[in-house]
Structure 1
């Protein structure tokens, strides 16, 4: 079967896609996805990272494959596979929970008294106004899924905090829903918090990903903290230099 022709990509979009690359080899490409760029199309999305992957297509017309997702508002590390075998390998890393993800979040609310802990709270997907979201659920509720997120407070200032989040499971909106349930939602979260009244973007950053790679061994990939994240943290007197 011949490959379906790929859509054209402008020189501007090609340059933009290439500017996001943190690392690449014959098996993988690692991107620093900016907040606001959707990973996939649909729902009124006019341009997604998946669309931009055309810039890295092989001469046979095959483009890289997505193997995991970040929410549109989340910035940071995202890995894609250049080949089908690499995609299968990386998908198994995620499904077997061997991929270790670390996020940074700016939050506001009733902060935990402890400095670190684990949110072990099942989540269930619901539809509200035609938009899916995740809510904390009682154990055993029909449709609920196990969701576990390790957390650590890196810096506090009044009712604000910089938190390190380490999800052990990969549920939709897991970190966002857990923090809302803990009564300290992420700044700028339009679905689980106060949206643009608290920040111009979702203040959640996928800082690092440690994962086995098709070429052998494990690698850690890190995305720098975005300038707007740093600026807001500074305004809130939160010390972003205290990082993992």
Structure 2
């Protein structure tokens, strides 16, 4: 017989913090508005992560919500978690089968295309540079190459700056960041694919909306409000009309 796990300890401060991030919850899912800078998972020297903070929602038998997808540490916005194993399996399959719709907003600067919308389909492959993984363009037949598709639309532009809506069809690591950089319009604050702190104090990428079927079968839509620092920089760049 499997014994129940002990409930992990979360400080009152951390419990209040993570509960303050909740957008929606019921008996099967909890949806969060993750702030930029909070890692989704622990490891690699990460002291506080959303996964670790999920212990604040643990039941008396030690069972706690589970992650079913990821956002980069610098990315803000919608993250959905599952309260039960069946819900986790259901949501994971929705993501794997690409039956979800994810909409991101990004502040970019570079050589903007004349068109206001398009599709980026450059295949990506993960490489290690300086001990850190990153995605680079690859030929489709290269070992480890992954097909990647990102739909993009410029919502507002001013000179060489723009507010871009990105809708990834696939879910590759760093996909939006890599694709927009390859398109010569890197995301502001992106230290890996752009100019980092020279352009913004953090990665200006926000997971605005997630549409996904609930484990009960209903189609649901979750939105995270525009962060204040994101809106402030958009206004400074003359892009607020697109928000």
TM-score when normalising by structure 1: 0.97
Alignment match, 2:35: 34
Kindly indicate whether the alpha-carbon contact (under 8 Å) linking 2:6 and 2:61 is maintained by their aligned counterparts in 1. Answer: no
CA distance in 1, matches of 2:4, 2:54: 15
Q: CA deviation at 1:48?
A: 0.2
2:145 alignment partner, SS class: coil
TM-score when normalising by structure 2: 0.98
Alignment match, 1:159: 160
Alignment match, 2:180: 179
Q: CA deviation at 1:5?
A: 2.0
Q: CA deviation at 1:4?
A: 2.9
1:224 aligns with 2:225: yes
CA distance in 2, matches of 1:38, 1:3: 27
Greater mean deviation of Cα atoms: 4-13 or 94-103: 4-13
Q: CA deviation at 1:140?
A: 1.6
1:192 alignment partner, SS class: coil
1:7 aligns with 2:8: yes
CA distance in 1, matches of 2:23, 2:216: 17
2:242 alignment partner, SS class: coil
Aligned residues: 242
Superposition RMSD on alpha carbons, in Å?
Answer: 0.8
Counting only pairs closer than 5 Å after superposition, residues 76-115 of structure 1 correspond to structure 2 as: 76-115=77-116
CA distance in 1, matches of 2:122, 2:195: 22
CA distance in 1, matches of 2:87, 2:8: 23
1:67 aligns with 2:94: no
CA distance in 2, matches of 1:12, 1:42: 21
1:175 alignment partner, SS class: helix
Residue segments in structure 2 that go unaligned for 5+ positions in a row: none
Q: CA deviation at 1:151?
A: 0.3
Residue segments in structure 1 that go unaligned for 5+ positions in a row: none
Q: CA deviation at 1:7?
A: 2.5
Q: CA deviation at 1:142?
A: 1.8
